[in-house]
Amino acid sequence: MRAVVFFVFLVIFQPASAQFFRGRIVDKAGLPIPNASIYINELKSGITADIRGEFQTQLSAGTYNCEASSLGYKREKFSFEMKSEDIRKTITLQEIVYELKEVHFSGRGEDRGNAIMRKAISRAPFFRYQVKEYEAESYLKGTMKITKIPAVAKLQFKKKEINMILNKLFLVESISTIAFSAPNNYVQTIRAFSSTIPDEINPGDYSLLMKSSIYQPEFFGMVSPLSPNALTYYRFVYQGITNESGKVVNKILVVPQKGNSKLMAGHIYIVEDTWNVSYLEMVTARSGIKANIKINYNEVKENVFLPTGYNIGVNLDMLGVNGEGRYYSSIKYNKIIENNSVQAKMLESKPLKEKTSNREASKIAKANQRIVDPPKEEKQSLEIKKIPSTTKVIVDSSAKRMDSLYWLSVRKLPLREDEIKAYKSVDSLKTEYKQIKTEDSIRNQNGGKGGKPIEQILFGHKYNIGKNWRFSFGGVAKIVGDFNFVDGYQFGQNVSLEYFTGKGQNLKISPLVYYSTERRLLLWKTDIDYKYAPLRDGKLSLSAGNITSDISSNPGTSRFINSYSSFFFGINPVKFMSKKYIELINSVDIANGFRGDFAVSYQDRGVLNNSDKTSLFGKIPGSNIPVNIYSPVQTNSTALVFSAGFTYTPRNFYRINNGKKEYVRSSYPTFSAKFRIAPGSNSPTASHFSSIEMEVKQGINLNIYSKINYSLSAGTFISKEKLFFPDFKHFRANDIMVSDVDFDNGFLLLDNYLLSTPNGWVQGYVNYSSEYILLKYLPFFNTPFVTEALHFRTLWLTDSGYHHSEIGYSIGMTGMARIGVFAGFRGLKYQSVGFRLSIPIFNQQTPLSISL
């Protein structure tokens, strides 16, 4: 609920003095111009008007020269003298008629808009570092209201929780002083702060707005229209010029080449010859939040244009939750020191030629970026350490104690009636919220899915036992462990007991027992997991049991999907064996990016047949004997297996989080090798073999739209004196329409066991995903959450020459649901086609599922 209630951005700040200058900005018809701005030259101060065009500020006695402006209107200059009385003024702005210069087309069909933006992009790095230091004061006002909450959320939360936020206006105001020093250091002193938001809710980082610059490659997390790569992602359409205070200003329409949540659309106004920004109006849409951003830039010092007013409108439409917000910020600059070295470098840089290509302009912008960027320290370590905050926030001890008279003197925007009402009810709202949070804390103090006894019984629960111990059980939801045609129903329960040392180490014991109604025996297993050496991600596991297991060591169909397809439709793609086993595994980082997995296991495996169970609708299932091209004899067997696996990713960057090492990224592929040896015995049913397999895989982000991942693997059996079907190399394969795994790994038009092999093999896959391939060009599918993908995978059995390949296309929401169509080939000959549905959100293990 917190994520629904608040805030996405912002910054802060401004002071006061004697008499009030109030007013209203209107057009020639007398209608208010929402969010217009006033700039006071003597104070280097901007004031942003509200949606009614109204503004106010307190000024000392003196003469002031001002300029009123708004997008689409001519700047209006005016002067007044402030004496001992308040002044109220109505300012009328005239609409701008933009003159169109002749549009010049080159042989590449590019117009004046691109030519202007190439020059602005090449100059952006200089403007980013143009100012060495400044001191500013800022006033911020933000409002937010949730107007709709879906019925599902109303069922999840208490009625009083819903009533506390629904259609309630939340308001925040602040006055701050900002001290900036290049390249990116801020000291923010909050002198006054007033809010109707309960103290327990974090409304966000109020300095984000001030720290975001349109001249940076990213602006509010979006690709800036002045990024060196902007010409790759945007079209720039010239829409005319106007003369503002003797400067020619170009109006440029910014159009994303393709829709993307990291791109913005709108208008940017570029000053001729200097190529800096004069106005900015952009619309962004991301994860259900649509923001309209307007920024007014003024010449606060000769040839230094800085933001003096921000106005941001926000509309929320996320998973049925609707809301709206608006944020204003007015900024006054008290001191500005230019970066003379950057200015000198800008003068020395060569101007762009008229016929410079987009690629050349991008290269020049990147080169200019390197020229002005502060020198970077050489980083030898692969550890990504937490970067110390470049913003120091100081809260004045009296910031929250300022009375209404103080706020009346410093406020730049008059309060509306609903805002006054919000302030009047703030005490009761905060008290109510604190009561609700106290109740929730008591309700959930032991964790689990519910605090009520009936919820604990139904869904299980976790109970803290003392300081270091925790006990949990599965509840009624886990009583039925699985359904298949070998076991019938499995009834039982699972529990776990955990011990935490508080140093990133813990011990977990997880026993479970289930009764098979058709085999009429108890199935059980116990897992003991000990996590050690958190900086090396060490894990030691001991597992033992008597279970019903998938014959394949690389399942393509989950037990969850098999249970439902068996119960309702009599489709049983998973083939089962009995397995009594004990296994010891140790996994640990040997060096950075180099991991070792060592295991020893003993398995006693038995052939199982289906019971006389049928599906819900009476369908008789297929045999429990798998179909395979080698027609292996299914027989009882044992196996003592030693295995060692190694994985290496060069230059794998990592971070330390809560004392534990976590890998983050690498620009290199991941290489892996695995060895298995079964030494055998005198028994004719004991496995005796050795095998090796190797793999290289990598994921690469191509751009903000697209990425590609690939894998190439190969392996063979070095020896195979006694090899049983469970020992074969199994491939992830699935030939039913619905699965709960993604489409990137495994075959989708291949029986689970058909090509399992006792010989050599080569396997590869390539997946290319993008926001735009085919259907996303249609408006119905063009949403930020939907992606498209092309898939290719192939398998070659070296001894028989059997070659199976699949190609496919899919569309959907990664990690939630995807639908695709795939075609299968044997060699170059077409074999089959099928539609497939992947629902990863259903991916879950049944209690007796286990990886061999």
Which residues of 409-518 form beta strands (DSSP E)?
Answer: 461-465, 469-473, 480-484, 488-500, 506-516
Dist CA 598 CA 526 (whole Å)? 20
Q: What is the DSSP string of 246-265?
A: TEEEEEEEEEESS--TT--E
In this structure, are residues 67 and 87 in contact, taking their beta carbons and an 8 Å threshold?
Answer: no
Mean pLDDT of 270-282: 91
Q: What is the number of other CB atoms lying within 10 angstroms of the CB of residue 95?
A: 10
Q: Is it the case that residue 203 has pLDDT exceeding 70? A: no
Confidence of residue 760 (pLDDT cuts 50, 70, 90): very high
Q: Report in angstroms the alpha-carbon separations of 194 from 172, 176, 568.
A: 6, 12, 60
Indicate whether 112 pLDDT > 90: no
- Is 50 exceeded by the pLDDT of residue 781? yes
Q: Report d(CA 529, CA 604) in Å as an integer.
A: 22
Q: What is the DSSP string of 613-632?
A: ---TT-PPPPPSSPP-TT-P
Q: Is pLDDT at 29 greater than 80 in this prediction?
A: yes
pLDDT tens per residue, range 457-488: 777 788 888 888 999 888 888 888 889 999 99
Query: How far, in Å, CA of 809 to CA of 791, rounded?
Result: 6
- In the chain, the percentage of residues whose pLDDT exceeds 90 is 47
| pLDDT of the residue at 161 | 65
CA distance 757 to 803: 13
CA distances to 122, 341, 525, 593 from 366, rounded to whole Å, are: 8, 18, 59, 32
Q: 455 with 475: CB under 8 angstroms?
A: no
Average pLDDT, the chain: 85
Which pair of structure tokens corresponds to residue 367? 């080169």
Top-level CATH class of 479-842? mainly beta
pLDDT digits (tens, 9 = 90+) for 119-150: 899 888 888 888 999 999 989 988 888 888 77
| Structure tokens that stand for 88 in this block | 């109220």
The predicted pLDDT at position 266 comes to 93
> CA–CA separation, 655 vs 636, rounded Å?
48
Confidence of residue 408 (pLDDT cuts 50, 70, 90): confident
d(CA 250, CA 232): 21
What pLDDT is stored for residue 8 in this prediction? 36
Where are the CATH 2.60.40.1120 domain residues in the chain? 19-96
What are the residue ranges of CATH 2.40.160.50 in the chain? 479-842
E-strand ranges in 723-816 read 738-739, 761-770, 787-797, 803-813
* 195-197-201 Cα angle (round to 5): 130
Closest to 742 (Cα-Cα) out of 637, 827, 810, 838: 838
Instruction: Report whether pLDDT(25) > 90.
Output: yes
Q: Domain 19-96 is classified in which CATH homologous superfamily?
A: Carboxypeptidase-like, regulatory domain (2.60.40.1120)
Residue-wise pLDDT for 53-87, tens only, equals 999 998 999 999 999 998 888 889 999 999 889 99
**What is the per-residue pLDDT for 378?**
58
pLDDT tens, position by position, 507-522: 999 999 999 999 999 9
pLDDT the model gives residue 711: 97
pLDDT at 610 > cutoff 70: yes
pLDDT, residue 364, reads 73
Question: pLDDT by residue (tens digit) across 560-592?
Answer: 999 999 999 999 999 999 999 999 999 999 999
Q: How confident is the model at residue 384 (pLDDT cuts 50, 70, 90)?
A: confident
Per-residue model confidence (pLDDT) at position 763: 98
Distance CA 153, CA 144 (A): 19
* Per-residue model confidence (pLDDT) at position 67: 92
CA distance 498 to 492: 21
Give 90 or 447, the one with higher predicted confidence.
90
Q: Which residues contact 690 (CB under 8 A, 6 or more apart)?
A: 675, 676, 677, 678, 717, 718, 719
CA distance 747 to 765: 10
